[in-house]
């Protein structure tokens, strides 16, 4: 009986220790994966910041924090880069409380107090304006974004922010590119760095090189207290949603396509497109004449040197 009991106990403790060690190795693997993800995001943000000269010595960067996964991730990665950056810059988080019904006002202050970041909550009732001005059945996002941008840009000036950081990522940039092509007849997107039309603000997009899936996974693992953007009750932006699905389908069928398309946005050949403002097509004959002349002169010079 004792013997039987003992062997059961031994096998039970072996099972428990096997489970514990499987759990420990699972947790270690998860931690390694998370570290890799964090490093990738840091590297991509760091590269974008350097490539476009986004942040300079003494900059005060206003991080626009909506409470979505992208802006939380942007703030977190900028904070971690700030610790080792070769230039010194400050960060201030700004949330625009648009007075949407049910907006959980306490969430962002609690989060920002918890991590010790300077912040402002800017209260503007853009919700009422959007509801009033948008015809029934139409999506409200375009006007809402415009009003939000106006409020944030104005506030950046008020607090002396030298840069306004927005959390758009690689997929946002590609979706905008196709939306502009499909519905606007223009080849343009969201640049990583931009001077606002009135020349008052420089806008930066530090997540420009980051994949949305990486950001979503990072936000999930960091357990950011996400605030949904649809509190306003708006229908989703259908055109953007369709383009998003189209891109996701392409990527699923041809992995790497999004990366290649994003590379194309950074590698434009104006002479191989058809914009007369970007390339002097009418001047090609003159250019040809000049090239011919230069070639003839070079040949003549070569002949002279040979006879010498
Ligand atoms: S979903 Fe609502 S809050 Fe978000 S951008 Fe659209 S209108 Fe604005």
The pLDDT of residue 7 is 62
1: tokens are: 């009986």
The Cα 263–Cα 176 span in angstroms is: 15
What is the residue with the minimal CA distance to atom 4 of ligand 1?
Answer: 229
Which residues does ligand 1 sit against, CB inside 6 Å? 140-141, 144-145, 229-230, 232, 234
Residue 128 neighbours by CB distance under 10 Å: 12
Ligand 1: which atom is nearest the Cα of residue 148? 8
- Is 141 annotated as belonging to a binding site? yes
- Is 144 annotated as belonging to a binding site? yes
Ligand 1: which atom is nearest the Cα of residue 143? 7
What is the residue with the minimal CA distance to atom 7 of ligand 1?
Answer: 141
Distance 237 CA to ligand 1 centre (A): 9
The pLDDT of residue 36 is 97
The pLDDT of residue 124 is 94
138, 226, 229: which to mutate for ligand 1, most atoms within 8 A of CB? 229
The pLDDT of residue 12 is 67
Averaged pLDDT in 10-residue chunks for the chain of 308 residues: 53 73 85 97 98 98 97 98 95 95 94 98 94 84 90 97 98 97 96 96 98 98 92 75 95 97 97 97 97 91 78
145, 172, 236: which to mutate for ligand 1, most atoms within 8 A of CB? 145
The pLDDT of residue 25 is 84
The pLDDT of residue 137 is 76
Q: What is the topology classification, in CATH, of domain 39-267?
A: Rossmann fold (3.40.50)
The pLDDT of residue 5 is 45
The pLDDT of residue 3 is 41
Per residue, the 3-state secondary structure of the chain, as one string, reads CHHHHHHHHHHHHHHHHHHHHHHHHHHHHHHHHHHHHHHHHHHHHHHHHHHCCCCCCCCEEEEECCCCHHHHHHHHHHHHHHHHCCCCCEEEEEEEECCCCCCCCCHHHHHHHHHCCCEEEEECCHHHHHHHHCCCCCCCHHHHHHHHHHHHHHHHHHCCCCEEECCCCHHHHHHHHHHHHHHHCCCCCCCCEEECCCCCCEEECCCCCCCHHHHHHHHHHHCCCCCCHHHHCCCCCHHHHHHHHHHHHHHHHCCCHHHHHHHHHCCCCHHHCCCCCCCCCCCHHHHHHHHHHHHHHHHHHHHHHHHC
130, 139, 234: which to mutate for ligand 1, most atoms within 8 A of CB? 234
């Amino acid at each position: 009986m004792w013997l039987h009991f003992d062997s059961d106990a031994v096998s039970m403790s072996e099972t428990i220790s096997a489970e514990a060690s499987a759990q420990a190795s699972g947790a270690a693997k998860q931690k390694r994966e998370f570290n890799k993800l964090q490093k990738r995001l840091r590297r991509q943000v760091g590269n974008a910041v350097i490539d476009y000269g986004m942040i300079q010595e003494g900059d005060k960067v206003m991080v626009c924090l909506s409470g979505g996964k992208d802006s939380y991730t942007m703030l977190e990665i900028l904070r971690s880069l700030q610790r080792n950056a070769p230039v010194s810059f400050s960060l201030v988080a700004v949330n625009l409380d648009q007075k949407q019904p049910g907006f959980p006002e306490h969430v962002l202050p609690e989060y920002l107090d918890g991590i010790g970041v300077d912040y402002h909550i800017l209260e503007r009732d853009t919700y009422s304006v959007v509801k009033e001005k948008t015809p029934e059945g139409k999506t409200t996002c375009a006007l809402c974004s415009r009003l939000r941008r106006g409020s944030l840009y104005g506030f950046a000036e008020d607090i002396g922010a030298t840069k306004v950081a927005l959390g758009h990522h690689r997929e946002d940039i590609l979706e905008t590119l196709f939306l502009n092509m499909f519905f606007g007849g223009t080849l343009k997107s969201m640049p990583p760095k931009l001077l606002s039309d009135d020349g008052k603000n420089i806008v930066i997009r530090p997540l420009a090189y980051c994949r949305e899936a990486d950001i979503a996974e990072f936000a999930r693992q960091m357990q950011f207290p996400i605030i949904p953007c649809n509190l306003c009750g708006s229908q989703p932006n259908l055109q953007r949603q369709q383009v998003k699905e189209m891109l996701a389908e392409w990527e699923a069928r041809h992995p790497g396509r999004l990366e290649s398309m994003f590379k194309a946005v950074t590698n434009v050949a104006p002479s191989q497109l058809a914009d007369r403002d970007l390339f002097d097509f009418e001047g090609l004959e003159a250019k040809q004449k000049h090239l011919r002349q230069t070639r003839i002169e070079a040949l003549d010079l070569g002949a002279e040197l040979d006879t010498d």
